[in-house]
Amino acid sequence: MTEKISALEADPSLRDDDDGGSIGSSTTSLTESIFDYRKLHGRPYSSSATTDYWAPVDSAQNEAFDLLHNVHLMVSDDKLFQAPISAESNLAVLDVGTGTGVWAIDFAHQYPKASVTGTDISATQPTWLPPNCHFVVEDCLLDWTLPANHFDFVHIRALYGCVPDWAALYAKAFRHLKPGGWFEHVEREVKIESDHVTIPADHVFNTWADLFYRGGDKMGRSFAIAGGHTMKELMEGAGFVEVHEKKIKMPMHGWPRKKILRDAGLLGQLGLDQALEGLSTFLLTQVHGWEHEEAVAFTNSFRKESRKISNCGWIWS
215-267 pLDDT, tens digit per residue, is 999 999 999 999 999 999 999 999 999 999 999 999 999 999 999 999 999 99
H or E element, residue 64 = helix 59-75
The verdict on residue 3 lying in a domain is no
The verdict on residue 25 lying in a domain is no
The verdict on residue 19 lying in a domain is no
**How many CB atoms are located within 10 Å of the residue 228 CB?**
9
Instruction: List the CATH number of the domain containing 85.
Output: 3.40.50.150
Q: Angle 166-176/230-238 helices, nearest 10 degrees?
A: 50
H or E element, residue 237 = helix 230-238
* Three-class DSSP category at 281: helix
Instruction: Using pLDDT thresholds of 50, 70 and 90, give the confidence band for residue 33.
Output: very low
Instruction: Provide the domain count of the chain.
Output: 1
The verdict on residue 11 lying in a domain is no
* pLDDT for residue 22 is more than 70: no
Q: What is the pLDDT of residue 31?
A: 39
Q: Using CA atoms, how far apart are residues 15 and 9, in angstroms rounded to an integer?
A: 15
Q: Using CA atoms, how far apart are residues 262 and 139, in angstroms rounded to an integer?
A: 37
The verdict on residue 16 lying in a domain is no
Q: What is the pLDDT of residue 99?
A: 95
The verdict on residue 155 lying in a domain is yes
